[in-house]
Structure 1
Amino acid sequence: MTPAELSQTLFDLITQVGERRRDAGSDTTDLGLAVSDVTLERPRNRDHGDWASSIALKIAKPLGTTPREIAAELAAGLEKLPEVASVEVAGPGFINIRLEAAAAGALAQKIVDAGPAYGTGDLYTGIKINLEFVSANPTGPIHMGGVRWAAVGDSLARVLKAQGADVTREYYFNDHGSQIDRFARSVLASYLGEPTPEDGYGGAYIGEIANTVVGLYDGDIAGLARDDQQEIFRSIGVDLMFTEIKDKLHGFGVDFDVFFHEDSLHESGAVDRAIARLREQGHIFEADGAIWLRTTTFGDDRDRVIIRSNGEPAYISGDLGYYLDKRERGFDQCLIMLGADHHGYIGRMMAMVSAFGDEPGVNLQILIGQMVNLLKDGEPVRMSKRNGTIVTLDDLVDAVGVDAGRYSLVRSSSDSQLDIDLDLLGKRTNENPVFYVQYAHARTCSVARNAAASGVDRTVFAPELLTHDSESALLGVLQEFPRVVAQAAELREPHRVARYIEEVAGYYHRWYDNCRVIPLGEEPVTDVHRTRLWLNDATGQVIRNGLGLLGVAAPEKM
């Protein structure tokens, strides 16, 4: 019996209790419950059973009775089920449920039969989600903040898809404005042998780009006017950075469905359409020769200039055009991942959403990520050899590889600052979380190979034989996977998957130490061995599915 099945059963029993009381003339109110409200928890103390519910405490008052009385009625109904071994009412009205071994063990076969589909759900079926992340400016290599969003964003996209969402991964290229001009002037200065401009970009990569542009340009750059030279280095140089960023992210296992160029917003008239829409809705006004959006109406701390008095668009104009463009493309939810320095950006963006008549926090959601520090020998890694000022994607991958890099970035909540210990990630010990999980998966594969060599197969499944405490504990944590994935999607927190599979790995290693799948010596193969192979393979499937949601490999040998 899965948690979902048990929750449905409890819900049905609650409905019956309410109907009986109303038929008896009790003055009860409508509970307004859904199955999702009937939550189950794994008791910390396994002596308290397999599952616990506090639902009686929530429904007693509207039913006009005490929690313990309601809990006793629900317990009586649960005890009639063949899958339930016992039910206990504890404390003020908690319900502790212990399943029959066969009912609990049946999960192993369900997981194996479901394969990659185990853990998926329909929370967001029919919902179109635009997930915009990384979006680093094409002025240099991706720094660690962007790398963190690459790992987290790609994992979140996978988690949302696992819950039925139609997800588009989108990268917003800021190829319009002063930063691109600074980049172009920096590359040109390198070509001319001049010092880096005071507000420009340094690092060896600038010189590399300058040399590459010279090699690619079909003509004599030296004979051109300075403005023409700068335009050549801007157009070719930005394209080179675009290509490098795409290639580096692809090597990190992150690919995008859409690369959206900021320039296109102004060229396509998207900004003008957005302003016209907001003007129709009465939120545009003009003052001091400029065009303004009255965002204070929707809680912003001040109104925002859209078009400056000199006719140049302000930065928010691009936000207006881009948001409207996404909505016109049919996206129900637009998710944007931004760095910690953009926290002050949220208020005006949500005001903009309200001005368009949409719902802040629903149609637009903004996730803020904190900084990442790499540590080596206990000290921060200060700079990249190539870039000279920041630590980059290449530095992380060169130090620990793609799998360890991705896993380390996604296993912690993105709204907390993260220190990554490169020495720890290089160890092949249980201290290293990615090794710990990958090794557990490799061990399930090793057990399966050795079982086949010893004549143990899955021709028999007798779940009532899975009676050891470590088997009950392992089955209990495996049952949690669908709930964890759904919660990770709903809360936009893929790190929950990483922490979960680490927990699974721990329970598996303890089970491995206590329960043999392969007979010792001349012992015959029994149905216990065959059934345990199902549990072994089910565990491997869950870890594999979890690692897949994080974009991390599940090796069969280590």
Structure 2
Amino acid sequence: MTPDQLSQTIVDVLEAAVADGSVTLPDGVPTTVTIERPRQKGHGDYATNVALQLAKRAGTNPRAFAEVVASRLTASDGVAAVEVAGPGFLNITVAAGAQGQVAADIVAAGSSYGASDAFAGEKINLEFVSANPTGPLHLGGVRWAAVGDALGRIFTLAGAEVTREYYFNDHGAQIDRFSGSLLASARKRPVPEDGYGGQYIHDIADAVVEKHPEVLDLDDDKAQELFREVGVEMMFAEIKQSLHEFGVDFDVYFHEDDLHRSGAVQKAIDRLTELGNTYESDGALWLRTEQFGDDKDRVVVRSNGAAAYLSGDLAYYLDKRERGFDRCFIMLGADHHGYVGRMNAMCSAFGDEPGKNLEILIGQMVNLLRDGEPMRMSKRAGTIVTIDDLVGAIGVDASRYALARYHSDSPIDIDLDLWSRATNDNPVFTVQYAHARVASLMRNAADLGVEAQSHPELLTHEKEGELLRALAELPRVIKAAAELREPHRVARYLEELAGTYHRFYDNCRVLPRGDEETSDLHRARLLLVDATRVVLANGLGLLGVSAPERM
């Protein structure tokens, strides 16, 4: 019996009690009941405070309410015992057969175990990374690559239709500085003021010259335009290749320049004007963002007629909504924290709801440590540390796991020495090793001719119960990770599960020894091991990390 199944059982008990008049709930029976795992042994398998939550509404005291629920719940299928504790908590012990059935259910579900309909019918646009194509992908962008892709996988398993989108910033001054830096490299000139340095600039400039040798014969303006056209595409192709090798691919690559060329910017401005949310002042056009919670109104079109940066955001958001997305997520670095207020105000100005139609997630800084000291420079990029530096040091799996393991709004230090070690203090090794250990045991069972079978009533050992309850938590962990936008919950759950599995293995013999005859208990425990394999693989898959068969 999973927590969700127990929750439904309690809901059924409450509905029956209301129907026969044992309790009165004027507002009706809740659709779900909170189920928790007790912290102390001896307090049952699960606990709920439903009596404390509902007693006042029922016109009685919590303990009396709990007694009514307990008497009925004890008679329910799959429940062995119910104890009323303290002011009205219910400590519930699940029958061995009902608890053991979880293993068979998990194996039967396979890769779909953990799925839910929590976001069914939701069409989600998940925009992340969106780094400027002016240099290799830096650590901030890599963090969003890991977290954003994991969040997309989690939303999908929770029933949503997810589109991963990369906003290609190919319009504006930063592209001018990039193309000017390429031109300077080709002309053997110093890096321009505010330009980009690093070996990658010379590499791309040389590649453009090799592909278009005539560029050296053009005047500076025409040459820079060619460097802009070809160089940006080369840089972006490199970024896309790095992300692909990192296991992250996008469904849509949206070009900012298209918004300005297509008339989408003016369309968005016109829409906001129709809604009465723009005004003219000092020759410029302003958006009334202050009335929607921003600290001040924002310029949309400058007095010289040029579109302000915000105008592109307006057009891009409207475009997403008109493409049918119910929820638009934008993942930004900590240096963009000041954009949150104006973006939410923009959402409101269009008549939408911030936090629902538009949600902005902030990712904090990432530092790489080697020998206890921060890495400051990349050999190729110069002033920044890149995706290739991280992957080259610890590999894709460890990189993705390390970046997704922490709350995205917390700064993290990644100790390259720790994350490259094959020891239990390396979190990704711990989880992957648990999966490899399970896979090895399954191979050994096959060699012995032992097949997993469901005998749920035999799984009565304390460590078997602990493992079953841990496995049953995955659906709730995934749902919470989706609702709270926190993929790190999956990583932390997997680490706890790995420890729970090892304790089970150390205390419960799975395969027969020597000439010992294979028993139904061996077969039942092997099914429990197989269920552990499914959950570890599913959890690692949500993080985009491999589940190795051997290590």
Q: 2:328 is matched with which residue?
A: 334
2:20 is equivalent to residue 39 of structure 1: no
Q: 2:52 is matched with which residue?
A: 57
2:117 is equivalent to residue 106 of structure 1: no
Partner AA of 2:542 in structure 1: L
2:273 is equivalent to residue 279 of structure 1: yes
Distance in 2 (alpha carbons) for counterparts of 1:410 and 1:245: 20
Alpha carbons 2:145, 2:243 under 8 Å: kept? yes
2:316 is equivalent to residue 322 of structure 1: yes
| SS of equivalent residue, structure 2 residue 121 | coil
Match of 2:245 among 241, 251, 258: 251
Distance in 1 (alpha carbons) for counterparts of 2:62 and 2:366: 47
Q: CA offsets per residue over residues 320-367 of structure 1, 9 Å max, x none?
A: 000000000000000000000111111111111111000111000000
TM-fit CA distance, 1:29: 5.2
Q: CA RMSD in A?
A: 1.1
Q: 2:75 is matched with which residue?
A: 80
Match of 1:548 among 533, 541, 546: 541
Alpha carbons 1:148, 1:410 under 8 Å: kept? yes
Alpha carbons 2:2, 2:469 under 8 Å: kept? no
Q: How does 1:397-416 map to 2 (within 5 A)?
A: 397-416=391-410
Alpha carbons 1:31, 1:59 under 8 Å: kept? no
Q: 1:304 is matched with which residue?
A: 298
Partner AA of 1:68 in structure 2: R
Structure 1 residues 406-415 or 78-87, which shifts more?
A: 78-87
2:122 is equivalent to residue 161 of structure 1: no
Alpha carbons 1:89, 1:96 under 8 Å: kept? yes
Q: 1:477 is matched with which residue?
A: 470
Alpha carbons 1:139, 1:179 under 8 Å: kept? yes
TM-fit CA distance, 1:83: 1.2
Distance in 1 (alpha carbons) for counterparts of 2:475 and 2:3: 9
Partner AA of 2:35 in structure 1: L
Partner AA of 1:137 in structure 2: N
Alpha carbons 1:413, 1:493 under 8 Å: kept? yes
Match of 2:196 among 198, 201, 210: 201
Match of 2:26 among 2, 11, 30: 30
Structure 1 residues 401-410 or 221-230, which shifts more?
A: 221-230
TM-fit CA distance, 1:32: 4.6
Q: How does 1:312-461 map to 2 (within 5 A)?
A: 312-458=306-452, 460-461=453-454
2:284 is equivalent to residue 290 of structure 1: yes
| SS of equivalent residue, structure 2 residue 90 | strand
Q: CA offsets per residue over residues 26-61 of structure 1, 9 Å max, x none?
A: 8x552354323x110011113111110001101000
Partner AA of 2:302 in structure 1: R
Distance in 2 (alpha carbons) for counterparts of 1:356 and 1:194: 48
Q: 1:6 is matched with which residue?
A: 6
Distance in 2 (alpha carbons) for counterparts of 1:243 and 1:345: 28
Aligned residues: 551
2:443 is equivalent to residue 465 of structure 1: no
Distance in 2 (alpha carbons) for counterparts of 1:54 and 1:364: 34
* Runs of 5+ consecutive residues of structure 1 not aligned to the other structure: none
TM-score scaled to structure 2, two decimals?
0.99
Q: 1:508 is matched with which residue?
A: 501
Alpha carbons 2:79, 2:93 under 8 Å: kept? yes
Alpha carbons 2:326, 2:357 under 8 Å: kept? yes
Distance in 2 (alpha carbons) for counterparts of 1:159 and 1:465: 34
TM-fit CA distance, 1:516: 1.3
Distance in 1 (alpha carbons) for counterparts of 2:98 and 2:517: 26
| SS of equivalent residue, structure 1 residue 47 | coil
Sort the Cα spacing of 1:385 and 1:161 in 2 relative to 1 into closer, same or farther, 3 A. Answer: same
Partner AA of 1:34 in structure 2: P
Distance in 1 (alpha carbons) for counterparts of 2:399 and 2:49: 40
Q: CA offsets per residue over residues 152-210 of structure 1, 9 Å max, x none?
A: 00000000000110000000011000000010111111111111112011100000011
| SS of equivalent residue, structure 1 residue 321 | helix
TM-fit CA distance, 1:520: 1.4
Distance in 2 (alpha carbons) for counterparts of 1:348 and 1:143: 26
Match of 1:495 among 477, 488, 495: 488
| SS of equivalent residue, structure 1 residue 427 | coil
Alpha carbons 1:18, 1:63 under 8 Å: kept? no
Partner AA of 2:195 in structure 1: G
| SS of equivalent residue, structure 1 residue 60 | helix
TM-fit CA distance, 1:517: 1.3
TM-score scaled to structure 1, two decimals?
0.97
Q: 2:521 is matched with which residue?
A: 528
Q: 1:66 is matched with which residue?
A: 61
Distance in 2 (alpha carbons) for counterparts of 1:306 and 1:32: 50
Distance in 1 (alpha carbons) for counterparts of 2:503 and 2:304: 70
Distance in 2 (alpha carbons) for counterparts of 1:19 and 1:82: 20
Q: After TM superposition, where is structure 1 displaced by more than 6 Å over at least 4 residues in a row?
A: none
Distance in 2 (alpha carbons) for counterparts of 1:500 and 1:33: 31
TM-fit CA distance, 1:20: 3.9
Sort the Cα spacing of 1:322 and 1:19 in 2 relative to 1 into closer, same or farther, 3 A. Answer: same
Match of 1:120 among 108, 115, 137: 115
| SS of equivalent residue, structure 1 residue 260 | strand
Partner AA of 1:227 in structure 2: D
Q: How does 1:224-243 map to 2 (within 5 A)?
A: 224-243=218-237
Q: CA offsets per residue over residues 406-429 of structure 1, 9 Å max, x none?
A: 000001100000110110111111
TM-fit CA distance, 1:462: 1.1
Q: 1:183 is matched with which residue?
A: 178
Distance in 1 (alpha carbons) for counterparts of 2:454 and 2:275: 65
Sort the Cα spacing of 1:333 and 1:136 in 2 relative to 1 into closer, same or farther, 3 A. Answer: same
TM-fit CA distance, 1:246: 0.5
Distance in 2 (alpha carbons) for counterparts of 1:30 and 1:192: 81
Sort the Cα spacing of 1:119 and 1:179 in 2 relative to 1 into closer, same or farther, 3 A. Answer: same
Alpha carbons 1:155, 1:550 under 8 Å: kept? yes
Alpha carbons 2:510, 2:522 under 8 Å: kept? yes
Q: CA offsets per residue over residues 477-534 of structure 1, 9 Å max, x none?
A: 1010001001101111111111111111010011111111111122111001000000
2:147 is equivalent to residue 152 of structure 1: yes
TM-fit CA distance, 1:268: 1.0
Alpha carbons 2:209, 2:216 under 8 Å: kept? no
* Runs of 5+ consecutive residues of structure 2 not aligned to the other structure: none
Partner AA of 1:369 in structure 2: G
Structure 1 residues 430-439 or 9-18, which shifts more?
A: 9-18
